[in-house]
């Protein structure tokens, strides 16, 4: 489930699962439902949240195994720990449609993945205007972490966020106070492209690097019972940071 203006999750996630397929032989299909969002403002984000149940019903018609709610800031804009309630709404909607599925969200996946890798202090890159970046930082801190530094790129148009060049991310990450961090959130947004930079930044800084997209992918694989085996996307998806159950599907 993605915002209507999202052009990144439907490119980064299929690429990640393609790499997983090459490594493991597992076959994955990818389906999406869209909810209207053009500008990343709190008002539009909250309006998008109201469409979550309808989107869950629509995508569950495809008899999917896992539903991922891929708009991190829309969930976080609802207040502390909002991913729990959002995921439950989606779970209930799919089950009520007669098509139950496991559910994750990019917001929930991000904080749970930080917990899973043992991170306590994080540095973060976000594309949002400063007030929204501050809100995301407060949400992460409300989940028990410390945001030691954050960079806000101040792009409000969601299509423009999707056109940001990931080749700029290594320099941006370099300027963060990363020496105080246990992990780096290279993209606290499912729309900001980052996959092309994850491995390079992790190699250079010597820190675990996660993004909203890689954390979401990690939780989808966990729900499927598949051990991550994805190349060139950081230690998390290589399978070196967190053990996951043996394949069950």
Query: pLDDT per residue over 74-111, tens digit each?
Result: 889 888 999 999 999 999 999 999 999 999 999 999 99
Q: Is the pLDDT score of 19 beyond 90? A: yes
Enumerate the β-bridge partners of residue 3.
35
Q: What is the pLDDT of residue 156?
A: 85
Catalytic site residue from 56, 70, 71, 230? 71
User: What's the burial of 144, exposed, middle or buried (CB within 10 Å: 0-12/13-18/19+)?
Assistant: exposed
Q: Is 163 a catalytic residue?
A: no
Query: pLDDT per residue over 183-230, tens digit each?
Result: 999 999 999 999 999 999 999 999 999 999 999 999 999 999 999 999
Q: Are 66 and 29 within 8 A, CB to CB?
A: no
Catalytic site residue from 73, 189, 190, 230? 189
85 versus 49: the higher-pLDDT residue is 85
Q: Span 27-44, mean pLDDT?
A: 81
Q: What is the pLDDT of residue 73?
A: 84
Rounded Cα distance between 194 and 26, Å, is 24
Name the maximum alpha-carbon separation found in the chain.
49
Q: Are 112 and 100 within 8 A, CB to CB?
A: no
- pTM here is 0.93
Rounded Cα distance between 165 and 35, Å, is 25
Q: Are 12 and 193 within 8 A, CB to CB?
A: yes
């Amino acid at each position: 489930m993605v915002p209507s203006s999202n052009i990144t999750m439907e490119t980064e996630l299929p690429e990640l699962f393609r790499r997983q397929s090459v490594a493991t032989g597992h076959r994955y299909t990818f389906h999406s439902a869209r909810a209207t969002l053009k500008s990343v403002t709190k008002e539009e984000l909250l309006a998008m949240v109201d469409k979550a149940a309808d989107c869950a019903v629509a995508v569950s018609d495809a008899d999917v195994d896992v539903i991922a709610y891929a708009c991190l800031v829309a969930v976080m804009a609802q207040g502390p720990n909002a991913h729990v309630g959002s995921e439950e709404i989606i779970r209930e909607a799919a089950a009520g449609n007669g098509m139950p599925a496991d559910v994750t969200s990019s917001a929930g996946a991000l904080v749970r993945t930080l917990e899973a890798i043992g991170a306590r202090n994080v540095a973060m890159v976000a594309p949002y205007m400063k007030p929204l970046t501050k809100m995301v930082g407060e949400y992460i801190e409300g989940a028990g972490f410390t945001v030691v530094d954050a960079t806000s790129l101040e792009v409000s148009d969601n299509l423009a966020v999707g056109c940001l060049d990931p080749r700029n991310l290594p320099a941006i990450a370099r300027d963060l106070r990363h020496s105080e961090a246990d992990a780096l959130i290279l993209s606290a947004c499912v729309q900001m492209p980052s996959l092309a930079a994850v491995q390079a930044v992790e190699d250079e800084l010597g820190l675990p690097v996660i993004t909203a997209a890689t954390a979401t992918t990690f939780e989808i694989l966990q729900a499927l019972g598949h051990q991550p085996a994805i190349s060139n996307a950081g230690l998390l998806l290589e399978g070196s940071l967190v053990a996951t159950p043996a394949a069950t599907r």
